[in-house]
Structure 1
Amino acid sequence: MSAAARPGFGRATDEVARILQGRIIDGTMPPGSRIDIEAIAEEFGISRTPVREAILRLEGLGLAERLPYRGAIVSAVDPDRFAEVTALRIELEGLAAHLGAPRLNDDDLTEMRSILDEIEARGRESDFALGTFNELNHRFHHLITQAAGAPVLARLIEILTAEADRMRLHSRFDHTASAPHHRAILEACERHDGPAAGELMRRHILAARAYTADRSDPATGILSTVLRETDLTLTEEHS
Structure 2
Amino acid sequence: MTIHRPARMADQVTRVLRDRIVDGTLPAGSRIDIGETANELGVSPTPVREALVQLESLGLLTREPYRGAVVVGIDLNRLEEVTALRIDLEGRAAELGVPRLSDADLERMREVLGQLERGSDDAAFSLGLFNELNREFHSVIYRASDSPTLVRLIDLLGAEADRMRLHVDVRAPFAEAFHRQILAGCERRDAPAVAAATRQHLLEAYIAMRHGDDTISPGILADVLSSTGTEARHG
Partner of residue 228 from structure 1, selected from 223, 226, 229 = 226
Give CA-to-partner distance per residue, 1:80-129, whole Å, 9 cap, x none. Answer: 21111111111110011111011011111101000001111121123312
Q: Which residue of 1 is the match for residue 151 of structure 2?
A: 154
Give CA-to-partner distance per residue, 1:35-56, whole Å, 9 cap, x none. Answer: xxxxxxxxxxxxxxxxxxxxxx
CA contact (8 A) 2:94 2:141 kept: yes
Q: Distance in 2 between matches of 1:232 and 1:217?
A: 13
Q: Give 1:1-239 correspondences, 5 Å limit.
A: 27=55, 29=57, 30=59, 32=62, 78-216=75-213, 218-220=215-217, 221-234=219-232, 236=233, 238-239=234-235
Question: For the structure 1 residues 159 and 115, does the alpha-carbon distance in structure 2 shift closer, same or farther, using more than 3 Å as the test?
Answer: same
CA RMSD of aligned residues (A): 2.2
CA shift, 1:134, in A, is 0.5
Q: Distance in 1 between matches of 2:203 and 2:74?
A: 20
Q: How many residues get paired? A: 172
Q: Distance in 1 between matches of 2:56 and 2:112?
A: 25
CA contact (8 A) 1:79 1:167 kept: no
Name the TM-score, length of structure 1 as normaliser: 0.66
Query: Tell me, what secondary structure is at the counterpart of 2:78?
Result: helix
Moved more, 77-86 or 146-155: 77-86
- What runs of 5+ residues in structure 1 fail to find an aligned partner? 1-25, 34-74
Question: For the structure 1 residues 117 and 172, does the alpha-carbon distance in structure 2 shift closer, same or farther, using more than 3 Å as the test?
Answer: closer
Q: Distance in 1 between matches of 2:213 and 2:88?
A: 23
Question: For the structure 1 residues 187 and 200, does the alpha-carbon distance in structure 2 shift closer, same or farther, using more than 3 Å as the test?
Answer: same
Q: Distance in 1 between matches of 2:188 and 2:214?
A: 36
Q: Distance in 2 between matches of 1:104 and 1:233?
A: 27
Task: Letter of the 1:99 partner, please give it.
Answer: L
CA shift, 1:207, in A, is 1.5
CA shift, 1:205, in A, is 1.1
CA contact (8 A) 2:97 2:143 kept: yes
Query: Tell me, what secondary structure is at the counterpart of 1:152?
Result: helix
- What runs of 5+ residues in structure 2 fail to find an aligned partner? 1-53, 64-71
Name the TM-score, length of structure 2 as normaliser: 0.67
Runs of 4+ residues deviating >6 angstroms: none
CA contact (8 A) 2:120 2:171 kept: no
CA contact (8 A) 1:77 1:167 kept: yes
Q: Which residue of 2 is the match for residue 40 of structure 1?
A: none
Task: Letter of the 1:116 partner, please give it.
Answer: L
CA shift, 1:194, in A, is 1.4
Identity over aligned residues, as a percent? Answer: 44
